[in-house]
Structure 1
Amino acid sequence: MGARIAAYDWSTTGVGAIAQWSQSLRSIVAFLVNSPVPLVMLWGEDGHLIYNDGYSAFAGERHPGLLGMKVLEAWPEVADLNAHVMRVGLAGGTLAYRNHRLKLNRTGVFEDCWLDLDYSPVFDDDGHPAGVMAVVVETTESVLAEQALRKSEARLRFLDALDRDTGRATDPLEILAITTAKLAEHLGASNCAYADMDADGAGLTIRGDWVRPGLPSTVGHYQFAAFGEQAVRELSAGRPLILDDNAIELPEHEAAAFQAIRIAATCCMPLVKDGRLIALMAAHHDEPHVWTADEVALIREVTDRSWAHVERAAAEAELRKTAIQLRELNAELETRATERAAALEQSRTQFRLLVQGVTDYAIYMLDPDGIVASWNAGAQRIKGYAPDEIMGAHFSTFYHEEDRAAGEPQRALETARRQGRFAAEGWRMRKGGVRFRASVVLDAIHDDDGKLIGFAKITRDITEREEAQRELEVAREALFQSQKIEAIGQLTGGVAHDFNNLLMAIMSGLTLLRKRLPEDDAQITRLIDNSLQAADRGAALTQRMLAFARRQELKTERIDVPALVADMRGLLERTIGPAWRIEMDFPDRLPAVSGDVNQLEMALVNLAVNARDAMPDGGLICIRGVEREVIGEVRGLTSGHYVRMTVSDEGTGMDAATLARATEPFFTTKGVGKGTGLGLSMIHGFARQNGGMLEIESEAGRGTHAHIWLPVAGEFARPAVTVLRNVVGRAATRSLVVLVADDDPLVLMNTADLLTDLGHKAIEAESGAAALDQLAAREDIALLITDQAMPGMTGTELIAHVRARRPELPIILATGYGETPAEAAEHLLRLNKPFTQADLERAVADAMLQRV
């Protein structure tokens, strides 16, 4: 690249001819050219590209055309990122990204790539920033490998658990029953079944199945042809039958056979031996379902393993049967000497054929000195040696050199010789020096006179089982933590709801009491005001608890994130103080998101305060947003378009242990009295309730990046608006007869007192039924205020009865958290508990204005 840079006509660019280059520029280019690290320098305000050989390899087919180009023109697909880099670098700042995903065109097509990016300013002879030096290291291969590993972990854990359960079973029908139940549970299928074919292939019998409760069993005999030509053709040829929706993919009369047994989608695997279809295993859904390649592969793997276990159980049963036969033969040989030789030879033949037919176990004989005397197909498959390669060799060949030096092979022989059996698990060697984990049994064999004639050796490869067991323990711990957090959330939501009712009674009582005090009693007034402030703080705390539990009422709207954050800038600057700078970075056409604007504002304030607290001496807080597309399920997010808002700081950061607990309720690293521990858990609950998530990246000493993911708003989402109105509407200035329904006596009484103090007449009802009785008895009732969570009849059920009788009656639903059914929420005027007298007054005015 040095020669290419020297030959380039730089006079046509803003860099200028090489002869005119400053000493600092010459030094930087010399350093860049001789560095083995992929480096590119963006020189001048336009960021003209000067790079080395390492970067040219990264640039692919875009090299050498990139040399000397302006960075925004060189890489137009990431122009926004590079514009930000130039602004920060020329201002003397640095940037760093790890495993940053970009979509680049390096070979004529756009492709996703992941990069580690580090940007630093470079200076001219006067010490001023004159450009940006970028270190570009591609990490695409490692990122994709990690994603593939996570995908396979769940599959390995399931297969290990299935192998353990079926490995303990000795009955083939029990093995198949365990397999179908576990496979159905793992896939979420409505039915899993196994069947065998009639000898003539014309029919099949489903011997056993697992079905979801409420669905009929499919056990029974069926005509094969009834399931259609496609089923017969594919399965008879040894190919799986895969139907996502039989109502669409099959003729009506063929689909009817599946639908008669409540099957809409099926994935059926055949077992073919000697060219003949002999058995089937299938998973079904009672609704249409698109089978993925991973699901089909898993069903095929489970089918193969289950039949292997069935064959193993059959082989073990045959072994037991043969052992019984051998004992009977030995007893018979004592009395039938003339038949002894023939019977013994027959027994040996049967045993040899049986052992040779087993492939899941290495079964072979050793002479008394440990020399291999026989070798079955399973031994060849597991250990890799053909019979002519290993027979005559000492069995210590299968041990590692260190174990041989320690005398392990001899110890095994001595134990079996002395005790009759040696059993152990350990590492053994295959042909070629590859280690595997083995379960080993060594039995001593004696003749009729008790003389040792050799040893029977059985080896099983358990490498996959050991590895999967370790992975399973990790998954169990993660599941336990998830269940713990869910239980805390349920408890927190319930406590917060009841606490809202208590706060409602306290706040309304204090409000009325304050209005009845003499104005000159300053001490009592101050005590009441302090109590009201404490109640307000308690209400705010319950909102955080409800947010964590995902049970607060959300008003989902279309939110323009850049406009919202811009409007909040002044609030954020006043909240965190002058020692902390706020920088905002949003693309020009960032799509709107769907969410509750008030909850989002609270979340951003919380994150800004956390960032401030992480930098006690001041610093930079960055708020940025980008659009992201999720394909498949990623960390709990479903497929779709999202906006990711990020609040970043350069503070103390968190270590791995703290980060793992960051969103736990009531967990805080702040001092006593400086935090409730509900901030991040509230944001976590709010994001989840809105269909997104909270993601936190942090390292000790390297700052924190908190990402709020929210779904992009749909075309018909309601825009967030601000409604200006009078405190009290004209329709509420007259005295009204108001019916109040609430099962909590304290809330009922205090709500009625607040209404009476406003000049209205309140009629109390302690249940929905009592409210209907009052409504039937009084024609002068002008307004209904009802709680939602009441025993016997909920608020929305009461409202349905009232609207059937008096559809014109204004109604207010007063509730403590988001318990309103979604279909009713849009048509109700809501009053959130705990409410103040002013809130109640406004709600009454709004209700009467709606009537007008």
Structure 2
Amino acid sequence: MQFLSESHGCCGWNGEMAERIRAFDWTLTELGRIDTWSNSLRSTVQLLLASPVPLVILWGRPGYMIYNDAYSVFAGGLHPYLLGSPVELGWPEVAEFNRRVLDTCLAGGTLSYHNKELELLRDGKPEAVFMDLYYSPVAGDDGVPAGVMAVVVETRKTAEESLLKFTRNLEQRVADEVEARLAAEEQLRQSQKLEAIGGLTGGVAHDFNNLLQVIAGNLHLLARHERDNPNVQRRVSAAIAAVERGATLSAQLLAFARRQPLSPAVYNPRHIFEGLGELLQRALGETIHIDMQLPDDPWCIHVDRNQLENALLNLAINARDALHGEGTIVISGANVVLDRAFCAGKGISAGDYVRLSVADTGEGMDPATLKQAFEPFFTTKADGHGTGLGLSMVFGFVKQSGGHIDMTSRVGQGTQVQMYFPRTERPQTRELPTRGAQHSGGHETILVVEDNEEVRSAAVEFLQQSGYQVLTAANGDCAMQMLLEGVAVDLIFTDVVMPGLIKSSDLASWAKIQTPPVAVLFTSGHTRDIISRNHQLSPDTHLLSKPYGPDALMAMIRNVLGD
């Protein structure tokens, strides 16, 4: 019968450590296979496992450790790695002490200590541990000491020391608890606010952007029909600009609510910064000096590059305004390691992060203003000079990207905004070169799937004017029926949110398994996470956000078709 295969009513012989001892590969040690162990070692192991007191055997000259369930609790984070380990390797911080124990007991001696203080690294950090320790030799089958039995009982310091320590820590514990409670309550309030705004924005965004698409589509068609009428062109341009402002407002609200569709990829911040300096300089003006600082080897991050660039641009514009259009803005990056204390209550985990900062020496903000800075529609600018959604959008983007954002400010000294993005070990995304060709149209057959008749008719006219053959379907059910009946198309241009049993994602799944696969271009005012996961699009998902114009539509179609 295999050793320790039966409990015979003893709980310890069928506990966790009994199972671990049976499963351990003892051929890695001088003890050899468990079925070749001496009778003395077997009996001692059974005695040890049956004890409710923390016991450990140190067997042989190396002191291979075999211990019971009670000792596994004492070992803390070192369990189960101590099993089978020589004691001097298992507890290197007290290796000299344990060598004396082995030398003494293997020579036939015994040792005992009362309230012995040893500094141990049970959970990765030094701690003073007070113990009653009793060491006795264990005889082998030949009667000669072959190992050491150690009784380890962790004790406390004297009552006065314990009381003093408790008194010293009580105030700090209470303060930490209060701070943690307040942080949790604030985080809950912020989360509830986000959910409320997100639900409201998500519910409105789809219909609102569809309305904007109807307006924009007809304005673009009117501009094409009246090319030679300057009055029409002027008024159409003004109306389209208003449509774009409405679309921007909707997008900013979705960003704050963390519901904007993102297309993240792996980037080295240095590559992003290289192309950003010229853009910022043009946007901020010649009287602003931009000081860009990055480490030589910044870690990679997984972000939507366009949204990150927009966030940095928003922060830089705010900094310029705080400087009244003249001064220096420092945009910097750093590799940082955040600990648990820093991350507590912030919704992020401890680990490696890339910190991107935008700092100015402008007029700064008082504490009351700073507290409201990320609130949607809050602004200190004059009427007509800001929507109050710039910082809100940055806040939502950073949070949606799995990061954290901090802002510090002092009146008369300036403001610093710090964005923390988790480090990624994945390889950098290979960026395809952008094409500068004109997107004049094509000859392919496109199936337009759109439940809104006004949006559908405008899209059809755009495509037909550009030379495409166009088929239409009012919903996913009709589109799938056409495709299953054998209608051949080169691309499916489909709205995301539609009534019916067949969803836009079902059309995409069908298109993907065809030979060859059929290209799919989605369009939507708000995807409601139907084609994304946590509002993050996969690299092979193409989305044209509403409202869009004919140029954007043609460019996306040529891109998806692979021209």
Regarding TM over 0.5, the answer is: yes
Counterparts of residues 620-639 of structure 1 (less than 5 Å): 620-632=328-340, 634=343, 635-639=346-350
1:465 and 1:534 map into 2 onto residues whose CA distance is 55
Alignment of 1:669-708 (within 5 A): 669-708=380-419
Query: Quick one: distance in 1 between partners of 2:390 and 2:176?
Result: 38
Label 1:623 to 1:228 Cα distance change in 2 as closer, same or farther (>3 A): closer
Contact 1:594 1:714 in 2 (8 A): no
Contact 2:263 2:539 in 1 (8 A): no
Query: Scaled by the length of structure 2, what TM-score is found?
Result: 0.66
1:737 aligns with 2:448: no
- Measure how far apart 1:247 and its partner are: 12
2:448–2:492 contact (8 Å) kept in structure 1: yes
Matches of 1:236 and 1:559, distance apart in 2: 56
Residue 494 of structure 2 is matched in structure 1 by 786
* 1:456-495 Cα deviation digits (max 9, x unpaired): xxxxxx9999989966873564244223332223433443
The whole-number CA distance in structure 2 between the counterparts of 1:569 and 1:802 is 41
Question: Aligned AA for 2:408?
Answer: E
Counterpart position of 1:758? 466
Matched residue, 1:26 = none
- Contact residue 548 and residue 683 of structure 1 kept, 8 A: yes
Kept in 2, the 8 Å contact 1:749–1:764? The answer is: no
Distance across 2 between alignment mates of 1:615 and 1:597: 27
Quick one: which of 577, 582, 598 aligns to 2:285?
577
Question: Structure 1 769/794 Cα, relative in aligned 2: closer, same or farther at 3 Å?
Answer: same
Q: Secondary structure at the match of 1:680?
A: helix
Q: Any residues of structure 2 matched to 1:456-605 within 5 Å, and which?
A: 474-475=182-183, 477-487=185-195, 488-517=197-226, 519-520=228-229, 522-605=230-313
For residue 378 of structure 2, the aligned residue among 644, 657, 667 is 667
Letter of the 1:605 partner, please give it.
L
Aligned pair 1:849/2:562, yes or no? Answer: yes
Code of the residue aligned with 2:218 in structure 1: it is: G
Q: How does 1:384-399 map to 2 (within 5 A)?
A: none
Partner of 1:840: 553
Unaligned runs of 5+ in 2: 1-7, 20-47, 55-69, 84-121, 126-158
CA apart distance, 1:593: 3.2
SS in 2 for 1:653: coil
Offset of residue 237 of structure 1: 2.9
8 Å Cα contact 2:13/2:50 also seen in 1: no
Structure 1 partner of 2:523: 814
**How many corresponding residue pairs?**
427
**Percentage identity across aligned positions?**
30
Letter in 2 for 1:501: N
| CA pair 519-813 structure 1, distance change in 2 beyond 3 A | same
1:833 corresponds to which letter in structure 2? K
Structure 1 residue 646 corresponds to structure 2 residue 354 = no
508, 513, 538: which one aligns with 1:825: 538
User: Secondary structure of 1:627's partner?
Assistant: strand
Alignment of 1:13-52 (within 5 A): none
Q: Distance in 2 between matches of 1:810 and 1:751?
A: 17
Structure 1 CA distance for aligned equivalents of residues 474 and 431 of structure 2: 36
Provide closer, same or farther for how the CA distance between residues 781 and 475 of structure 1 changes in structure 2, counting only shifts above 3 A: closer
**TM-score, normalisation: structure 1:** 0.45
Question: Is the CA contact (8 Å cut-off) linking 1:772 and 1:802 kept in structure 2?
Answer: no
| Distance of aligned partners of 1:518 and 1:637 in 2 relative to their CA distance in 1, 3 Å threshold | closer
CA distance in 2 between partners of 1:689 and 1:625 (Å) = 20
Separation in 1, partners of 2:389, 2:489: 43
Residues 327-376 of structure 1: CA deviation (Å, up to 9, x unaligned): xxxxxxxxxxxxxxxxxxxxxxxxxxxxxxxxxxxxxxxxxxxxxxxxxx
Matched, 1:771 2:496: no
Matched with 1:237 is 53
- Note the C-alpha offset of 1:848: 3.4
Distance in 2 of aligned mates of 1:721 and 1:697: 38
Is the 1:503–1:535 Cα contact (8 Å) retained in structure 2? yes
Query: Displacement, 1:697?
Result: 1.3
Secondary structure of 1:491's match? helix
Match of 1:849, SS state, is: coil
1:173-228 CA-to-partner distances (Å, cap 9, x unmatched) read xxxxxxxxxxxxxxxxxxxxxxxxxxxx969xxxxxxxxxxxxxxxxxxx786544
Q: Does the CA-based 8 Å contact 1:584-1:622 persist in structure 2?
A: yes
- Displacement of 1:774: 1.6
Gap change, CA 1:477 and 1:513, over 3 Å in 2: same
2:368 alignment partner in structure 1:
657
Contact persistence 2:12–2:50 (CA under 8 A): no
Q: Is the 8 A contact 1:615 1:650 kept in 2?
A: yes
Q: Is the 8 A contact 2:261 2:537 kept in 1?
A: no
Residues 34-57 of structure 1, C-alpha deviations (whole Å, 9 max, x = no match)? xxxxxxxxxxxxxxxxxxxxxxxx
Distance 1:706 1:229, change over 3 A: closer
**Distance across 1 between alignment mates of 2:180 and 2:310:** 39
Deviation at 1:607, TM superposition (A): 0.8
The 1:748/1:467 distance shift into structure 2, 3 A limit, reads same
Shift of 1:606: 0.7
Change (3 A) 1:766 1:248: farther
Report deviation, 1:234: 9.0
| Structure-2 change in CA distance of 1:235 and 1:568 (3 Å) | farther
Cα RMSD of the aligned pairs, angstroms, is: 4.0
Contact 1:796 / 1:824 at 8 angstroms: preserved in 2? Answer: no
| 1:531 positional shift | 0.7
SS at the partner of 1:513?
helix
Letter in 2 for 1:574: R
Q: Which of 317, 322, 325 matches 1:614?
A: 322
Task: Tell me if the contact between 1:559 and 1:719 (Cα under 8 Å) persists in the aligned partners.
Answer: no
Residues 720/546 of structure 1: CA separation in 2 closer, same or farther (3 Å cut): farther
Contact kept in structure 1, 2:511 and 2:519, CA below 8 Å: no
The 1:596/1:720 distance shift into structure 2, 3 A limit, reads farther
Kept in 2, the 8 Å contact 1:582–1:622? The answer is yes
Q: Deviations over 1:540-569 (max 9, x none)?
A: 222222222222232323434344334332
Question: Cα–Cα, structure 1 residues 809 and 753, in superposed 2: closer, same or farther, change >3 Å?
Answer: same
Report the counterpart of residue 420 of structure 2 in structure 1.
709
Q: Distance in 2 between matches of 1:801 and 1:629?
A: 45
**Deviation sequence 1:383-403 (CA, Å, 0-9, x none):** x9xxxxxxxxxxxxxxxxxxx
Offset of 1:519 from its aligned partner?
A: 1.5
1:617 shift after superposition: 6.2
Q: 1:616 to 1:800 in 2, by over 3 A?
A: same
- Shift of residue 772, structure 1, vs aligned partner: 0.9
Equivalent-residue separation in structure 1 for 2:304 and 2:173 (angstroms): 48
- Render the CA deviation track for 1:408-431: whole Å, top value 9, x for unaligned: xxxxxxxxxxxxxxxxxxxxxxx9
- Deviation, 1:783, is 2.3
* 1:76-98 deviation line (CA, Å, top 9, x unaligned): xxxxxxxxxxxxxxxxxxxxxxx
Q: 1 CA distance for matches of 2:519 and 2:180?
A: 58
- Partners of 1:539 and 1:609 in 2: how far apart? 20
Q: 1:469 to 1:662 in 2, by over 3 A?
A: same
The 8 Å contact of residues 235 and 241 in structure 1, kept in 2 or not, is answered as no
Alpha-carbon distance in 2 for matches of 1:714, 1:837:
40
Equivalent runs, 1:106-145 vs 2, <5 Å: none
Query: Residue 52 of structure 1 aligns with which residue?
Result: none
Please tell me whether the aligned partners of residues 268 and 428 of structure 2 are also in contact (alpha carbons under 8 angstroms): no
Q: Residue deviations 1:499-534, cap 9 Å, x none? A: 3222222211211122122623x3332221111011
